[in-house]
Amino acid sequence: MPVQRLNHAVLYVRDVERSFAFYRDVLGFRAKVEIPGRAVFLQAEGSTNDHDLGLFAIGADAGPSQAGRGTVGLYHLAWEVDTLAELARIRGALLEAGALVGASDHATTKALYAADPDGIEFEVSWLLPADLITPEVSAQGATTRPLDLDREIERYGAQTRGGVGVSVPA
């Protein structure tokens, strides 16, 4: 079974309305189907998928996830954006929401790390197009550096389409 891509993810959250507001206001997701107080199925801004994210309420008494700290489990989801300009816009929204927890330069990937209202971590990233991945850049991939997004915009351009030939067909 050759997997082509992740179709959607489903998260258990304490308060579905609060989490929906976060994903809508900060990341631009829109509701496709709502079951008030219980669940919402969201579609990403540039997606034509039926839904990209499902949120299911389990109540305010739910404890924090121990995944990676005391139990096995998912560390984070990663969403890809088309341009560094979009990554910069999302950085501003994450900062305003107090959700940004890190920003890393993985050479071929420029990544923001954040946490939603329940502390569920996620990544938003821009991937270097294949034609810009030189042997020198590949060699740097083993090191993670702090992300200087303004410098990366100067280097690659704010509107350069990311992931072409990597995650997006050339």
71-98 average pLDDT score: 95
More confident call, 6 vs 86: 86
Percent of the chain whose predicted confidence (pLDDT) is above 70: 99
Q: What is the pLDDT of residue 170?
A: 83
C-alpha–C-alpha distance, residues 118 and 115, integer Å: 7
The residue-averaged pLDDT of 55-70 equals 91
Q: How confident is the model at residue 147 (pLDDT cuts 50, 70, 90)?
A: very high
Does pLDDT of 12 surpass 90? yes
- Please give the backbone phi and psi of residue 19, each rounded to the nearest 5 degrees, phi first: -70, -40
User: What are the residue ranges spanned by the domains of the chain?
Assistant: 1-59, 75-170
- The mean pLDDT of 87-110, rounded to a whole number, is 97
| CA distances for 73 relative to 3, 15, 82, 89, 105, angstroms | 21, 21, 28, 30, 25
Mean pLDDT of the chain: 93
Return the CATH fold of 75-170: 3.30.720
Higher-scoring residue by pLDDT: 70, 39: 39
Q: How far is it, in rounded angstroms, from Cα 38 to Cα 40?
A: 7
- For the ranges 18-22, 95-99, 139-143, which has the lowest average pLDDT? 139-143
Question: pLDDT at residue 165 above 90?
Answer: no
Query: 128 near 55, Cβ under 8 Å?
Result: no
The domain 1-59 having CATH identifier 3.10.180.10: the answer here is: yes
Dist. CA 110–CA 85, nearest whole Å: 12
pLDDT at position 9: 95
